[in-house]
Structure 1
């Protein structure tokens, strides 16, 4: 079951057609449990910053939070998956600087979590356009993930043309050497789950480093993982480099995440 609302009411064909025909906007996805979200402020800040960047206007956060609260009530469940898309039905690509009011599309569906099974990923040369924004131009991610699946992998890990490891299709990647977590440096989306884990690991006193990583560095680590709003998942292989899957690093990430509070909608 899915509920789709635009500006707080049932979305109509005109509103949906505007987003489908002009692929300009941005979004965030989050998991709701008990009408609360971990990292809610991170998601709202992401939306606010991207709205300013793409439309030159401020997003009404108070109005959006009211829509989230009412939308969850209409969904009749306190646990849900929620995607918030910000776009503008009046946006004209022929006059992109013309001021327009933004619209918010809420897609509410059943809650979701990442599977615990380890995944194999292949490296692919690719850098997302405007990588610091979670925008709706997602065709390359879907196409490259499809190619990875066709090649016998589970997903794709993007690599800069200078060889730096960046990010996955819809996830961040991290590495564990037994003592320290290393995050790759490069043009990539700063994930909300990644931010929660970084704060949590810091609170636990676990060392962290952000540095350029290349394929030749993979042997420095004993484990690797991916993370997004649905959780964390171990990696068993990046291309031909294999990792043993251990419960210890994943348990550490869960402990780090548990330090972060839930924020009511």
Structure 2
């Protein structure tokens, strides 16, 4: 370890001693064992991704029992991504965490949420390690209003963990879209058609597409379609929360 690295490590240890880290959700003091950046109590309350669910888009089915299988939308219109990974169902404390991260400026949730997502992907039967990580972009007007792109913050944490490049400006949102809440998948897709563009082509790279929440999947479908048409190889989508049913 270099002298600079040693000094940085010692300063970090001193800061932790003087100002102990707290869980960003409940403010409980974190222990050294809280590797994910959340206290054990909050981690235990996060809803797991339900099964059975769609083997392509991870949509949890309402009925209990049975094995994972394709949902009707994925059978009728296969998405451009090969699969979706998620931390858990978009409900309870996980929904609250995403709202704090996305709307209330609690940007320090980027590392804990990205860590949970990374751990889930690393524990999968067939771990996916991309060549490139691409965040779902915000339109410039929305970015100015919010001040940050939550998907980019997550992407940067994953890129740091896996030492994989992140492309923050290769996929852009070239026009705003109307509010999507309460709309069907087909209507959302119509609203999003042509909303994204690439600033540079790809050459067969495997891509991890990052967003915070997936509901109908229209945004991820359109982003993946844009990446695919620009030369991307396999595309896997990853989100923090997966809504339980299409709206």
Is this a same-fold pair by TM over 0.5?
A: no
- Which of the pair is proportionally richer in helix? 2
- Choose between structure 1 and 2: higher strand proportion: 1
Per the normalisation by structure 2, the TM-score is 0.28
